[in-house]
Each structure stands twice: as structure tokens, then as C-alpha cells.
Amino acid sequence: MLSAGAPVAVVGAGAAGLVAIRVLREAGFRVVCFEASNEVGGTWVYADVNKVPDWAGHDVALRNEPGGDDRRGSPSPSHSSPLHSSMYQSLRTNLPKQVMLFPGMPFPDAAPSFPGHVEVQRYLLRYAERHAVRDHIRFETPVQEVRPVSSRALDGYVVRYACRQRPDEVREEWYAAVCVCNGHYTVPYVPSHDSRSVHQVDDESKEDAGRGIVEHLTDGTFAPGRIHHSHFYRQPTRYAQQRVLCLGAGPSGIDISLDVARVAARPVYLSFHGSMPAACVSALRRAGVQPVAALTAVTGPRQVRLADGTQLDDLDVILLCTGYRYAFPFLADACEVRVQHGGRVVTPLYRHLLPVHRPNLPLVGLPYSVVPFPLFEYQMRYVCRVLSGAIRLPSESAMRQDTREEWRARTALGMAPRHFHRLGDRQWAYDRYLADAAGVKGPTLAAQSVYNDAGTSRKANPVLYREREYRIFGDGPEDWEVAITVA
Ligand code: FAD
């Protein structure tokens, strides 16, 4: 239990870090946030990338770790070099602004229901200003290490960080708790042989699209064809007239293949595991994207084979839209946080948030297939009450048991282990649990209904779903309406 005024560090000033600063400060803690870059917003800070490394080239930092598991996730990208986000130029949100918002802070009325990334970044800047969080952020200070002082969590942590302005200076400071908000969309993931698939059509298909192909991608067989990852994708121009195969049909894979199809040789192939509704296939085809079976092998220069036996020749680029890995390269081994299942699962955690033996080292924002901004707020409000002692956690063994039961229940439903942090429909119960425990209002049924409607229409027509404009006028499940702006 920490007393008011105790020093708490936050790593990262993306959306999660901004919320963490605000909520911790309101709870009376002394907050210092370390941010590697020179701006707030993380994912939403768009940056041009001039060099796109080839996956099969020399940049081994981009490859998965052998075996896929390691103690803290991939050691790269280097925590001493600047990170860039995975934001691309044409991105519009895949969640309606009426749902995506932080509780109590709407997006501007003038913004469409699915705003572009610039609008979201402005929104985060306004949030930072409204809650005066900037004063607590030290920019250009990448955290190099978070090290427990002793085996007792209560003794706190030493944070070692660098100052970009004075690269030779490395400093260390003590904090009673550290909130880890370093983001989970910058270290590329490619399915390896250790990934097992589930046969489902939804966002998971991005991970299953080419399971087991990482080995084929790194041995140079595809050369002179190039292999890129969506982390480096900014705009389609470099793919003009090229024959492109996008791998993975998650939200980014679909959006990027549509973006590329504006300039590339048509069709752009979209390879994924499973099936798609016929309406979705037709909509994609009309836009120049051809859904095809999962990639099973790279069979030669610019040549691949698909699960249904089809061979595709003369490809110029395979664009991997296969998602990202969790990585905490700065957590010392003594923190005992492990990243498993090919970088997709973090253990041992209670409620996808608190290391069971170190609840004062929360890992914020791990769940995916969720509405992230409000989830960050519920998590952080819960964390504050845990830190202040207002919430008494169960014993360590009871927390482990709770997590084991969740594993068991979800495995019984057919969940692949690596999807443990994928909450989907479970997010509402999760959010409400945290919000109730923290004594704040949880998500409304109206927000839940709008989220469901947007998801359903995205699956039916990924080309046009953003033409829907939502309005929420109450909390109940029926208290919303939608107008469709395009026939
Ligand atoms: P980030 O935004 O990644 O922020 C992490 C911060 O930590 C960064 O500023 C980074 O510089 C800093 N950092 C990392 N390591 C260190 C270190 N060692 N020391 C100091 N600082 C460090 N969400 C939605 O709600 N709607 C959408 O439509 C949507 N679209 C998306 C599209 C794309 C392409 C991607 C990649 C993500 C999208 N998301 C979307 C998810 C989005 O990432 C989350 O909404 C949210 O922005 C994540 O915030 P975060 O703070 O957890 O992480």
C-alpha cells in the first residue's frame, strides 16, 4: 500500500500513459512519465518512414525470436533508438468515435464517426492539455531498465533511463511503483511453426494467415521479391504497378490491401486463413482486392503456394499484416514477467493487468479486440485503488488460480492459447468488473450496441462501413441511431 505523495513512474506517453498520469495524479501520487519520443500520442503520432527493411534482409531485429518465447519479449526494437509508430497515412479509425472516447471527453461534433488519425492525435493533445499532464512527462527519455530493489514488491523499483539530448548520461531513480504503458503495436509478429490455429473468421485470421511461414520468409527464397511488414507501411505509392500479396485479414490487412489496390497491379491478393462472408468478398473484389487462401509456402523467387494448392507467380511484394508482439525489453529478469506463445501472451498476470507477485508493476493495455481508450481508464482507476490499498487483492495463489480458471474456461471454448488477451465480447464484463471495483461508471449498453453494430457492418462490408454516422442519446441498449451516408 502506497501513501499519498509516493513516487510512481509511468513508462510511455501514448493514450494509456496519458490516462495513467492523470488518474495517478488525481489519486495523490507524485508522477513522473518517461517518454522515448518527443511527443505524446504514441500510435497516433504519424511519422514518415523512408527506409522499409526487407524481412528477409539483414535487419534481424525484426525477426521473431527463435522458439518464439522469451523472458520479456523481443529485445528489439532497441529501446535506445527512437521508435516510430505503425500509423499509416490513410488510416481512419475502425471504432466509432462515440465508443472510442475516454469517458467524459467526446470527440468534436464536426468529426465523422470514424475520424482519421490526425483527428485522434488532436484529441489526445487536447486530453493532455485539459488534464495538464505534460508537466509530468520527461520527453526523449527512453527507459532502459526497470529493476526491482529487492524480492519484495513493496521495496519498489529503480528506473534507469537515458536522455537523448545527452546520450552519455544515464540516470537512475527510485519509484514505489511503475506503470508500464509502452504500447503493443510496434514489434512485428509473424506466425511461426509453434503457433496453432483456430478455424475462425474474424480478427484472428491475421495471425493464422501464414502460420508457420516465418522460416520461409527469412531464407531468401522469395528474392528478388521483397517482404515488408505493415509496421513500416505509410502510403501505397511505393507499390504502384506492383503485384502485391497482403498476408492477414485483420483490420489493418484489409485496410492496407484496399489502400494498395488504388495504385498496384490488380488484383491485390489478400491471403488469410478461414472464410469470409460472400458480401465481404464481393465488396473487396469490386475494390480490386482478391481474397485468397492462406499462404503455406514460399516456393521460389517471387512465387508462393496457398493452402488450396494455388500457386501465385511474379509477385513483387509480400506485405505482412500479421500483427505485433508484446515486448518489455526494459523489464529486468528479476521482474519475472514472461512473454510466451510466440510473443502473444504475458504471464503471470491477474486480470490481464497485474503481475501476481508484483501488483505495483501494472502492464497497462494488453487486451486486444477491445475499445482501448476507455479500457485504459478502467484499468488505471483500478490500479490506483490497488496501489492506495483501497482494493485488497486476493492472495498470490488465489490470483494465479483465478487466471488458471480463465484459461481453462476459454480453452474449453476452443480458444488457442495465444489469444488469451483477446477479449472481444468479454471486454464488457472485464470493463465493468474494473469500473465497479474502482467505483466509477462502466461502459453503457448503448456503447456496447454501437460497437456491435460497427463490427457487424465492418465484417459485411469493410469498404463502406465507415460511411455510417452514429448518434448515442442515452445509456440503454436502444439509445442510439445510425445514418448511412452512402447508398
Ligand atoms: P502507444 O500508443 O504505442 O504508446 C506507447 C508509448 O510508449 C509511445 O509513445 C512510445 O514512444 C513509448 N515507449 C515505448 N517504449 C518506451 C521506453 N522504453 N521508454 C519510454 N517510452 C517508451 N485503437 C482504437 O481505439 N481505434 C482505432 O481505430 C485504432 N486503430 C489502430 C490502427 C493501427 C494501425 C494501430 C497500430 C493501432 C490502432 N489502435 C486503435 C490501437 C491503438 O494502438 C490504441 O488505441 C492506443 O493508441 C495504444 O496506446 P498505448 O498508450 O497503449 O500505446
Please state, in angstroms and rounded to a whole number, the distance separating the CA atoms of residues 464 and 486.
8
**Structure-block grid coordinates of residue 340:** 510466451
Please state, in angstroms and rounded to a whole number, the distance separating the CA atoms of residues 356 and 393.
10
Which atom belonging to ligand 1 lies closest to the Cα atom of 39?
A: 9
CA 109 from chain centre, in angstroms, equals 27
**Nearest Cα residue to atom 50 of ligand 1:** 183
Which atom belonging to ligand 1 lies closest to the Cα atom of 88?
A: 34
Instruction: Say how many Å lie between the CA of residue 16 and the centre of ligand 1.
Output: 8
Question: 399 or 82, which is more confident?
Answer: 399
Instruction: Say how many Å lie between the CA of residue 393 and the centre of ligand 1.
Output: 28
**78: pLDDT strictly greater than 70:** no
Please state, in angstroms and rounded to a whole number, the distance separating the CA atoms of residues 251 and 391.
37
**Nearest Cα residue to atom 12 of ligand 1:** 12
Give the strand pairing for 30-35 and 137-139. Answer: parallel
On whether the pTM is more than 0.80, the answer is yes
Instruction: Say how many Å lie between the CA of residue 361 and the centre of ligand 1.
Output: 19
Residue 406, classified by CB atoms within 10 Å of its CB into exposed (0-12), middle (13-18) or buried (19+), is middle
Select from 171, 182, 368 the residue to mutate for testing ligand 1; criterion: most ligand atoms less than 8 Å from CB.
182
Q: What is the DSSP letter of 93?
A: -
**Nearest Cα residue to atom 34 of ligand 1:** 87
H or E element: which one contains 481? strand 480-484
* Sequence letter at residue 6: A
Instruction: Say how many Å lie between the CA of residue 159 and the centre of ligand 1.
Output: 21
Please state, in angstroms and rounded to a whole number, the distance separating the CA atoms of residues 445 and 343.
33
Give residues (CB < 6 A) around ligand 1.
11-17, 34-37, 42-44, 79, 83, 86-87, 91, 93-95, 100, 142-143, 181-183, 185, 252, 330, 365, 372-373
Instruction: Say how many Å lie between the CA of residue 73 and the centre of ligand 1.
Output: 17
Query: Across-strand partners of 480?
Result: 472
Which atom belonging to ligand 1 lies closest to the Cα atom of 15?
A: 51
**Structure-block grid coordinates of residue 264:** 498496384
Residue 227, classified by CB atoms within 10 Å of its CB into exposed (0-12), middle (13-18) or buried (19+), is buried
Query: Of the segments 73-82, 432-441, 477-486, which one has the largest average pLDDT value?
Result: 432-441
Per-residue model confidence as pLDDT tens digits over 26-41 = 999 999 999 999 999 9
Please state, in angstroms and rounded to a whole number, the distance separating the CA atoms of residues 155 and 162.
23
Per-residue model confidence as pLDDT tens digits over 187-236 = 998 876 444 332 222 344 455 555 556 667 777 889 999 999 999 999 99
Range scoring the smallest mean pLDDT among 63-67, 242-246, 464-468: 63-67
The residues, ordered by sequence, that sit 6+ positions from 481 with a Cβ below 8 Å of its Cβ are: 470, 471, 473
Q: Average pLDDT for residues 164-183, to the nearest whole number?
A: 92
Q: Average pLDDT for residues 381-396, to the nearest whole number?
A: 97
**Nearest Cα residue to atom 46 of ligand 1:** 15
**72: pLDDT strictly greater than 90:** no
Q: What angle do CA 17, 191, 283 make, to 5 degrees?
A: 85
Give the strand pairing for 303-306 and 311-312. Answer: antiparallel
**Nearest Cα residue to atom 8 of ligand 1:** 42
Which atom belonging to ligand 1 lies closest to the Cα atom of 79?
A: 18
Select from 34, 76, 117, 185 the residue to mutate for testing ligand 1; criterion: most ligand atoms less than 8 Å from CB.
185
Please state, in angstroms and rounded to a whole number, the distance separating the CA atoms of residues 314 and 298.
12
| Contact between residue 59 and residue 33 where contact means Cβ atoms under 8 Å apart | no
| Contact between residue 205 and residue 462 where contact means Cβ atoms under 8 Å apart | no
Helix (H, G, I), strand (E, B) or coil at 119: helix
The residues, ordered by sequence, that sit 6+ positions from 305 with a Cβ below 8 Å of its Cβ are: 295, 296, 297, 299, 311, 312
Q: What ipTM score was computed for the predicted complex, to two decimals?
A: 0.99
**Structure-block grid coordinates of residue 281:** 468478398
Instruction: Say how many Å lie between the CA of residue 185 and the centre of ligand 1.
Output: 6
- CA-nearest of 232, 210, 251, 207 to 344 is 207
Instruction: Say how many Å lie between the CA of residue 47 and the centre of ligand 1.
Output: 13
Query: Across-strand partners of 292?
Result: 271
